[in-house]
Chain A
Amino acid sequence: MKRCELLIVGAGVAGMAAAVAAWDSGCRNLVLADRADRSGGILPQCIHEGFGLSAFGAELTGPDYADRWAAALKRTGVQLLLNTEVLSVTETKTAILSSREGLGELGFERLILATGCRERAVGSLPIAGTRPAGIFTAGQAQALINLRHQSLGRNILILGSGDLGMIMARRFTLEGKRVIAVVEQNDHYGGMARNHHRCIEQYHIPMLYRSTVSEIHGVGRICGVTLTQLDSGRREYISCDTLITAVGLIPERELARGLGDPDWLYLAGNCHRIHQVADSAAAEAEAIGKRIMQEGQR
């Protein structure tokens, strides 16, 4: 069985930042694995500007920001395994890796999970009705539009006003689609003021506060939703052909399940907690990368 000192799962910004920091602190036997065919994690699909204000002092797009980290990684000797799924991790400090080349076991001394997050899907919400085609999570829609250049629909309703919801409202508008409204259960948008200003106000996108989608209609493709006003209870039918859900991110920790809290396991980036800005995920991961090496020397 192959062995390494440090295994990092996930080559998003957190994984890359942790890897660079660990290398710079003297770790020389380090593997960074990601299932995707490129590094960067979620960033390549975030083609808007707004990354790197504190790390690089510039407002970069997601892909450019990812490239900066990829360049930093390149000057190290970190072994980057792409197209590689980490299937599981055992208590005996072994990871099972799967790729088209085969199934491998990799022993490690320490493990950083930088596996990002997943989006809460519509099924987990208390919404009645049918489950037709035309319902996407915001990140899924973002990948389809920005990476695959697909068109999803024409009349879009967005549920949830976090950064993702607001960014996607603008994205659909720029694509020439009609964003009927962004629906939010609270009385204030959920994301950053900067995004509200740039994505909602500047494009005059209607916001519906203290409202929620309570029912989905449509048999093949979605044809509308019932909107409920939370204070008055008033219900209203709104027709739409696409529903985007931006209702929360959940740290992705499947690999840690059943492991308890061993002293060789670290969580970084969105896998640890949801970071609103990538710089914050990077800073956290860098600190972990450094700390691991210090702890390793003790």
Chain B
Amino acid sequence: METYDVVVIGGGLLGCFAARNLRRWDLSVALLEAREDVCTGVSRANTAIVYPGYDHKPGTLKTEMTVRANARFDTLCRELDVPFKRCGSLMVGFGAQAEAVLRRKYENGLAAGVPGLRLLSGAEALALEPALAPGVTLALYAPSAGTVNPWALGVAAFENAVDNGAQPWLNTAVRGIRAEGGSYVVGTDRETFSCRALINCAGLSADRVQALFRAPDVRIVPSAGDYLVLDQTAANAPGHIIQYEPEDGGKGLTAVPTVEGSLLLGPSERENETDFATTLPGLDFVRERAGRVLPRLALEETIRSFAAVRPNPQRFDGGSVGGFVIDNPAPGFWSLIGIKTPGLTCADELGRHVAEHAAAYLQAERNMAFSPQRTGIKKAHGMSCEQRRAAIADDPDYGEVLCRCEDITRAEVLQAIRRGAVTVDGIKRRTGATMGRCQGSRCQQRLVQLLAQEGNIPACAVTKDGRGSEILGGGHETV
């Protein structure tokens, strides 16, 4: 039996930030993740926006957290050494219907204290963002909106949690939870854990994980959405986040100029779909909407499409849930169920929130040794010549470019592996390799070689994204 003060279930953004913030207190913390790595679930496929906080009713926990989280985001990203781009957002409408929505959000935002919010005329919006369709009639400009790479942020929180003494348990899936004499006993497919407090951040499975102990009031009804990614060279891409509010009240479209320089477009909305697979109608929808709001955008520069799955919380009577669901089924047990947008924005705030509850419950002292600082992998790209020269002198692996599209060196890839990447996608999440226009067709083999060499395994055992996704030697005998 492994004994900890607190066990966190799930290594997505929320679990990683919960673990990080729990270590602000003098508590022993275990983070249990079913997969071989962190941030492989909802946290790997989303819109990547750090929201300003005007979308929901003022005065709610969600809105307050969003506004606070947004204001702290520069500090957070500085602490965790993660790139953050406060590029601002323009929510745009093309007629009376949408204008009403924009005005309502503007009022919401003013009441919630969103800084710098302005309503712009069509002409003003076009002056600020010439890529927009000329018919725009009104825009809600939020200079505080920004974008961050979600998995870069999650991995950073994870590393910071572990640096501060949280114990990661990867490849450890929770199978049962029971109370026993003031403690919880958490059964997994490996060790059994005993803890005094339990935080459930199991993402799409959070309702089912809680049901291992006691059924929650809400369940997760997933829906899927499709995205396109355009190359950083795509012509007529916007410099701001664009949120298109269609006149017919239907689903709009978001365009995000990511920190990597690519442009993210999406998502579509497909009810009751649970797998991370795109559909042609979904992708067509994204293209069609993009054409309406960014008519000159070079869609032919698409380099990738992907699907995301939303963990929509729903009451058992079918009613939808607007706020963040932080269930507390028993003393010392908290569940974050169906945290979708803006869960990325609020990940650190939500982590703090549950950590404070747990610390109060366990009457924990502050951990004076806690350090919020984490140092990321030093990136060759963006260095000045002098810096890059020094980096190579220090470590010749910085001289060898492995991923040419994104300018990522062997040194960065090796560090990613030493920091815990065990799959090609794990390297991607830590370095950005394979994210560019060739999508890994040129560097994947080098990554496989390094994973095999560093992990002391044969190349044919290396996977793209966990068990069952072997890259080489692959294919099963057909009968």
Which of A118-126, A162-170, A264-272 is the interface stretch?
Answer: A118-126
Are the CB atoms of A242 and B445 closer together than 8 Å? no
Q: Is A129 an interface residue (CB 8 A)?
A: yes
Which of B275, B466, B468, B471 is packed against the most chain A CB atoms within 10 Å? B471
User: How far is the CB of A246 from the nearest CB of chain B, in Å?
Assistant: 12
CA distance A128 to B273 in the complex (A): 14
A140 to B304, CA, bound (A): 18
On whether the beta carbons of A133 and B477 are closer than 8 Å, the reply is no
**Chain A residues in 8 Å Cβ range of B407:** 87
The residues of A that contact B469 with a CB separation of less than 8 Å are: 132-133, 219-221
**Residues on the A chain within 8 Å of B276, using CB:** 130
Closest to B389 in A: A103
Which candidate, B30-38, B154-162, B240-248, B397-405, is the interface stretch facing chain A? B397-405
Chain B, interface size category, equals 35 or more
Residues of A within 8 A of B118 (CB): none
> Provided the pairs A140-B442, A154-B477, A239-B478 are in contact, do residues A221 and B470 lie with their beta carbons within 8 angstroms?
yes
Q: Which residues of chain A are near B303, meaning CB under 8 Å?
A: 121, 123-124
Of the residues A99, A105, A150, contact of B472 by C-beta under 8 Å:
A150
CB closest chain-B residue, reference A103: B389
**Interchain CB contact under 8 A, B474 and A123:** no
Nearest A residue to B463, CB-CB: A133
Q: Given the complex, which residues of B lie within 8 Å of A143, measured CB to CB?
A: 445
Query: How many angstroms between the C-alpha atoms of A129 and B306 in the bound complex?
Result: 8
Residues of B within 8 A of A87 (CB): 401, 407
At the interface, yes or no: B318 with Cβ under 8 Å from chain A? Answer: no
B285 CB to closest chain A CB (Å) equals 12
- Is the CB–CB distance between A99 and B399 below 8 Å? yes
B282 within 8 A of partner (CB)? yes
Query: Is B135 positioned at the interface, with any CB of A under 8 Å from its CB?
Result: no
Instruction: Check: A148 CB closer than 8 A to any chain B CB.
Output: yes
Interchain CB contact (< 8 A) of B397 among A100, A126, A217, A239 = A100
A214 touches B280 (CB 8 A): yes
Question: B385, A153: Cβ atoms under 8 Å?
Answer: no
Residues on B with beta carbons closer than 8 Å to the beta carbon of A105 = 385
B94 shortest CB reach to chain A, Å: 27
Q: Which residues of B contact A257 (CB under 8 A)?
A: 233
Q: Is A47 an interface residue (CB 8 A)?
A: no
The distance in angstroms between the C-alpha atoms of A221 and B465, with both chains bound, is 9
- Least CB distance, A217 to chain B, in whole angstroms: 8
Chain A residues positioned under 8 Å from B477 (CB to CB): 154
A-B interface pairs (CB < 8 A), number? 147
Return A109 CB to nearest CB of chain B, in Å: 21
Tell me whether A91 is interfacial, beta carbon within 8 Å: no
Whether A140 contacts B445 in the complex (CB less than 8 A), given A121-B438, A124-B303, comes out as yes
Q: Are A139 and B470 in contact (CB under 8 A)?
A: no
B400 engages A220 (CB within 8 Å): no
Cβ of A103: which chain B residues have Cβ within 8 Å of it?
Answer: 385, 388-389, 392, 399
Closest Cβ of chain B to A239, distance in Å, is 7
Answer yes or no: B475 CB below 8 A from chain A CBs. yes
A137/B441 in contact, CB under 8 A: yes
Q: Scoring B residues 247 to 284 as 1 if CB is less than 8 Å from chain A, else 0, what string do you get?
A: 00000000000000000000000000001111110110
Chain A min CB distance to B294 (Å): 18
Chain A 233-252: CB-based contact to B (< 8 A → 1; otherwise 0): 00000010110000000000
Instruction: Convert B446-479 into 0s and 1s, putting 1 for each residue whose CB lies closer than 8 angstroms to a CB of A.
Output: 0000000000000110011111111111111110
Interfacial chain B residues near A152, Cβ < 8 Å? 472-475
* CB contact under 8 A between A121 and B468, given known A99-B399, A103-B388, A143-B445: no
Is there a chain A Cβ closer than 8 Å to B396's Cβ? Answer: yes
Contacts of B445 in A (CB 8 A): 140, 143-144, 148
Give the most central of A124, A130, A152: most B CB within 10 Å. Answer: A124
Asked if residues A131 and B306 are in contact (CB atoms below 8 Å), the reply is yes
Residues of A within 8 A of B438 (CB): 118-119, 121
Q: In whole angstroms, how far apart are the Cα atoms of A148 and B471 in the complex?
A: 14
In the bound assembly, the distance between CA atoms of A254 and B445 in angstroms comes to 22
B459's nearest neighbour on chain A, judged by CB, is: A150
Known: A99-B400, A257-B233. A121 touches B439 (CB 8 A): yes
Cβ A98 vs Cβ B401 within 8 A: yes
A132 touches B464 (CB 8 A): yes
Question: CB-CB < 8 A to B460: which residues of A?
Answer: 150-151
Q: Mark A44-56, 1 if CB is under 8 A from B, else 0.
A: 0000000000000
B401, A129: Cβ atoms closer than 8 Å: no
Instruction: Kindly state whether residue A205 has any CB partner on chain B within 8 Å.
Output: no
Minimum distance in angstroms from A146 CB to a CB of chain B: 12
Partner of A133, one of B277, B279, B400, B474: B474
B233 partner residues in chain A, CB cutoff 8 A: 257
Q: Does B28 contact A (CB under 8 A)?
A: no
Given A123-B305, A128-B282, A150-B473, list of 8 further CB < 8 A pairs? A100-B397, A123-B303, A126-B283, A133-B464, A140-B445, A152-B475, A153-B475, A220-B464
Using a CB–CB cutoff of 8 Å, the interface residues on chain A facing chain B are 35, 83, 85, 87, 96, 98-103, 105, 118-119, 121-124, 126, 128-134, 136-137, 139-140, 143-144, 148, 150-155, 214-215, 217, 219-221, 239, 241-242, 254, 257
Task: Across the A-B interface, give the 10 residue pairs with the lowest CB-CB distance, nearest first.
Answer: A220-B468, A241-B475, A153-B475, A123-B304, A220-B469, A133-B464, A100-B396, A121-B439, A133-B469, A154-B475
A-B contact pairs, 22 of them (CB 8 A): A100-B392, A101-B396, A102-B389, A103-B389, A105-B385, A118-B442, A122-B439, A123-B439, A126-B280, A130-B278, A131-B306, A133-B469, A133-B470, A134-B474, A134-B475, A140-B442, A150-B472, A151-B472, A155-B478, A220-B469, A221-B468, A241-B475
